[in-house]
Amino acid sequence: ISGEPITAELNKMPHLLVAGSTGSGKSVCINGIITSILLNAKPHEVKLMMIDPKMVELNVYNGIPHLLTPVVTNPHKAAQALEKVVAEMERRYDLFQHSGTRNIEGYNDFITRKNKELEEKEALLPYIVVIVDELADLMMVAGKDVETAITRITQMARAAGIHLIIATQRPSVDVITGLIKNNIPSRIAFAVSSQTDSRTIIDSGGAEKLLGKGDMLFIKNGGSTRTRVQGAFLSDQEVQTIVDYVVAQQKANYVKEMEPDAVTEGSTASESDDPLYKEAYLFVLEQQKASTSLLQRQFRIGYNRASRIMDDLERNQVIGPQKGSKPRQILVDLNGGEV
């Protein structure tokens, strides 16, 4: 606020939680971090994995050479993508073990010396930054898998050179769980609507008094001091200009092993032994609601059979899990795509 630039190194954080209500500046902050990486690091030094269930925030970055995979927009694939990052982390720890090193810096020094001595050209390990924009959408669809993967990454991935940036505009305890929060020491809170939301993000009030438009409270690496910072503004046009510049230098070269497996659209309509399943699937999509009693009335079948069809629909990720007396969430629209 005093006009001095505030900078922080991501590898020292080593993970970052960004939260704030709509219009508070959260997405502009994420764009600022990404473009800073694009302008300061070469594609072989830093790789990015972007997960964007909202489909609009990060799609502009498709095609940049720093990406490991195309931007992941399917929430079911997002859980797989995070699991692939966990697998890459474990692979790196195996490399460290066999080379007698302890972290990515030591391993890359070891490879550099080895290349020099043996005149080889073995590639160095790049840093990996995983960016999740809108954690709430992932937690709704695959909460347990996402939470487990994020916890493993935040607990162990620092030495492997893997860093996580998580953003959400719904800072409630069912989205930012205690397990996730405890393992992410660096946090940015933008303007939120209540003191409760502020406490969820930074363990104290204050964020509810911020003015919006990039006004933030920054906690660095689990410290007790909160720094009030005005975030830098970056227009959509400036982001596009930087992306065009980077893409002109080098095209994207995606890593096949890191791409999440395809979730086939047709599978949701056919994965059941019950001959009524396909009709029930189409009926649920048309009505955009589902319950055992609804299937019983529509198809004139018994409770047990209707219940089995509901289980199949849930297993095939057409409907969400049962949550008390609340109606089931429909995860697929009439065209077979995710809602």
- Could you tell me the CATH number of the domain that includes residue 329? 1.10.10.10
Closest CA to 45 of 104, 118, 116: 104
Residues in the chain with pLDDT values less than 70? 1, 262-272, 324-325, 334-339
C-alpha span between 26 and 313 (Å, rounded): 35
Looking at the fold, whether 148 and 272 belong to one and the same domain comes out as: no
Q: Domain tally for the chain?
A: 2
Looking at the fold, whether 65 and 180 belong to one and the same domain comes out as: yes
The CATH code of the domain that includes 61 is 3.40.50.300
pLDDT confidence of residue 168: 92
pLDDT confidence of residue 308: 85
pTM: 0.76
pLDDT confidence of residue 92: 94
Domain limits for position 318: 264-339
Question: Which residues partner with 168 through β-bridges?
Answer: 19
Annotated binding site, which residues?
20-27
Question: Computed from CA positions of residues 113, 118, 119, 124, in that sequence, does the dihedral angle turn out positive or negative?
Answer: negative
3-state secondary structure 195-227: HHHHHHHHCCCCHHHCCCCCEEEEECCCCCCCE
Looking at the fold, whether 67 and 137 belong to one and the same domain comes out as: yes
Which of 241, 258, 275 terminates a domain? The answer is 258
Which of 258, 283, 306 terminates a domain? The answer is 258
pLDDT confidence of residue 265: 43
Which of 237, 258, 279 terminates a domain? The answer is 258
* pLDDT tens-digit series, residues 172-212: 888 888 888 888 989 999 999 999 989 999 988 899 999 88
Is 198 within a domain? Answer: yes
For 50, the token pair is 């972007």
Looking at the fold, whether 289 and 245 belong to one and the same domain comes out as: no
Is 28 within a domain? Answer: yes
Is 149 within a domain? Answer: yes
Please give the order of strands across the beta sheet that includes 227-230: 46-51, 127-133, 162-168, 16-19, 186-189, 215-219, 227-230
Looking at the fold, whether 249 and 293 belong to one and the same domain comes out as: no
Task: Return the SS3 of 308.
Answer: helix
Q: How far is CA 312 from the centre of its chain?
A: 27
C-alpha distance from residue 253 to each of 11, 43, 108 (Å): 24, 10, 22
Looking at the fold, whether 292 and 318 belong to one and the same domain comes out as: yes
Is 2 within a domain? Answer: no
Looking at the fold, whether 214 and 242 belong to one and the same domain comes out as: yes
pLDDT confidence of residue 230: 93
What DSSP line would sit under 104-173, residue for residue? HHHHHHHHHHHHHHHT--PPPPPEEEEEEE-HHHHHHHHHHHHHHHHHHHHHH-TTTTEEEEEEES---T
Annotated binding site for ATP, which residues?
20-27
Looking at the fold, whether 219 and 315 belong to one and the same domain comes out as: no
What does DSSP assign to residue 232? P
pLDDT confidence of residue 138: 87
pLDDT confidence of residue 264: 43
Looking at the fold, whether 280 and 138 belong to one and the same domain comes out as: no
